[in-house]
Amino acid sequence: MSGHFESHFPDSGHVDYSDQSSSIDATTIAELKELAGRYPQSRSALLPMLHLVQSVDGRVSPRGIEVCADILGISTAQVSGVATFYTMYKRRPAGTHHVGVCTTALCAVMGGDILLERAKAKLGIDEGQTTPCGRVSLERLECNAACDYAPVVMVNWEFFDNMSPETTDELLDALMNDDEVASPRGATLTSWRAAERVLAGFPDGRADEGPSAGHASLLGLSIARENNWGAPDPDNLPAPAETQEAK
């Protein structure tokens, strides 16, 4: 697979100016200013501020760019340069739930390619699109640092591990039906916008949900426990590790 090479870019270089809608109000502006105030130099807050813009407008809106530029005292072009650089910033409204299927080499080989095709077919949309009902948007992801759980699907940046076509179907059905879904290594799903708000730096109080670790994260530890292995006792260190070297 991989036949998705694009070479013509008719509409690149900017956010979607045709959609001028925005829900940014005085509260949002106050929060944006609060973010700017958290850093030794305010411009450092730009990435979090754009996350917050997304949580309010469902995308990086033109007004969001203008407000950020105004608060930080930089040009709109400078904000636009940042907003178009990072892949988490969306040009068009994402769905209530944003689904990403990892298709970097390992996940792709382990089945991620199949899962992405399956999700596209099931949702009836292409990557980068949102279902007409607005519930789910879909994208192809690059490696999400969960390779020991491959193939991996992300929903609102929560992990869904060791996915198969069947579990992917179930997940998508649940999302489309607005059923409650919990990440096996995270919290109960809220929405992509709510997630963006947390990423902006406004916690949602869900940190204590979910487990300490997934099964793969614990594999080595459980083997060590089974074998009674561990780090040396600092008060009773083993002889220097020449033997280890000799192996």
Partner 1 sequence: MSLDAKSAPAEVAKKPDLVNLTIDGTSVSVPKGTLIIRAAEMIGTAIPRFCDHPLLDPVGACRQCMVDIPDAGNGRGFPKPQASCTMPVAEGMVVKTQMTSAVADKAQRGMLEFLLINHPLDCPICDKGGECPLQNQSLSNGDGESRFGALKRTFPKPVSISAQILLDRERCVLCARCTRFSEQISGDPFIELVERGALQQVGTYETDPYDSYFSGNVIQICPVGALTSAAYRFQARPFDLVSITTSCEHCASGCELRSDHRHHQIKRRLAGNDPEVNEEWSCDKGRFGFMYGRGNDRITRPLVRRDGVLQPASWPEAIDVAVHGLREAGSRVGVLTGGRLTVENAYAYSRFARGVLGTNNIDHRSRPQSDEEADFIAAHVAGRSLADSVRYADLDAAEHVVLVAFEPEDESPIVFLRLRKAVRNGTLRVTTIAPFASRGSEKLSAELVAVAPGGEAAALSGLELGAGTIILVGERAATQPGLLSAVSAASARSGARLAWIPRRAGEVGAIHAGCMPNLLPGGRPLADAAARVDVASAWGASTLSGQAGLSADEQLRAAASGELLALVVAGVDPADMGHADEALLGLESAGFVVSIEQRESAVTERADVVFPAALMEEQSGHFLNWEQRQRDVAIVVKDTRSPMTDMRILAALADAMGSDLGFRTPAAARADLAELGTWDGHRAASPTVADPGHVVGTADGLVLASWRQLLDASSGNDHELALRATARPAVARVSPATANALGATDVVCVTDGRRRLMLPLLPTRDMVDGVVWVPMNPGIGQGERLASVPGTVVTVDVVPVDEGVAS
Partner 2 sequence: MTDLLTPVMSSDWDSDASWKLSRYEEVGGYRAMRKALDMQAGDVMSLVKESGLRGRGGAGFPTGLKWSLVPQDNPNPKYLVVNADESEPGTCKDMPLLMASPHTLVEGIIISSYAIGANTAFIYIRGEVLHIVRRLQQAVEEARAAGYLGANVLGTGFDLNIIVHAGAGAYICGEETALLDSLEGRRGQPRLRPPFPAVAGLYASPTVINNVESIASVPSILDNGIAWFQSMGTEKSKGMTLYSLSGHVKRAGQFEAPLGVTLRQLLELAGGVRNGHQLKFFTPGGSSTPILTGDHLDVPLDYEGMAAAGTMLGTKALQVFDETTSVVRTTLRWVEFYKHESCGKCTPCREGTWWLVQLLMRFEAGTAEPGDVDKLLDICENIGGRSFCALADGAVAAVVSAVKYFREEFEQGYTTPAWELFPYGKSALFATEGDPR
SS3 31: helix
SS3 3: coil
Q: Which stretch binds partner 2 (CB under 8 A): 12-20, 22-30, 120-128, 151-159?
A: 151-159
Cα–Cα distance measured from residue 5 to residue 116, given in angstroms and rounded to the nearest whole number: 16
Tally the C-alpha atoms within 13 A of residue 190's C-alpha that lie toward its C-beta.
16
Please state the closest distance from residue 16 (CB atom) to partner 2, in A: 18
By C-alpha distance, which of 49, 123, 126 is closest to 89?
Answer: 49
- Contacts with partner 1, 31-70, as mask; x by CB under 8 A: -------------------------------x--xx----
14 binds partner 1 (CB under 8 A): yes
The phi, psi pair for 246, rounded to 5°, reads -70, -20
7 binds partner 1 (CB under 8 A): yes
Cα–Cα distance measured from residue 224 to residue 150, given in angstroms and rounded to the nearest whole number: 23
Contact call for residues 102 and 196 (beta carbons, < 8 A): no
Q: Find the binding residues for partner 2 in span 174-213 (CB under 8 A).
A: 183, 185-187, 195, 198-201, 203-204, 206-210, 212-213
Nearer to partner 1, 118 or 140 (CB): 140
Q: How far apart are the first and last CA of the chain?
A: 42
245 binds partner 2 (CB under 8 A): yes
Cα–Cα distances (Å) from 99 to 41, 164, 191, 194, 243, in that order, read 34, 15, 11, 14, 49
88 binds partner 1 (CB under 8 A): no
Q: Find the binding residues for partner 2 in span 42-101 (CB under 8 A).
A: 43-48, 50-51, 72, 81-82, 85-89, 100
Q: Find the binding residues for partner 1 in span 92-121 (CB under 8 A).
A: none
Which of partner 2, partner 1, none sits in contact with 188, Cβ below 5 to 8 A by type? none
Size of the site for partner 1 (CB under 8 A): 22
Other Cβ atoms closer than 10 A to 133 = 9
Cα–Cα distance measured from residue 81 to residue 77, given in angstroms and rounded to the nearest whole number: 6
Which of partner 1, partner 2, none sits in contact with 14, Cβ below 5 to 8 A by type? partner 1
Contact residues for partner 1 (CB under 8 A)?
A: 5, 7-10, 12-14, 17, 62, 65-66, 74-81, 84-85
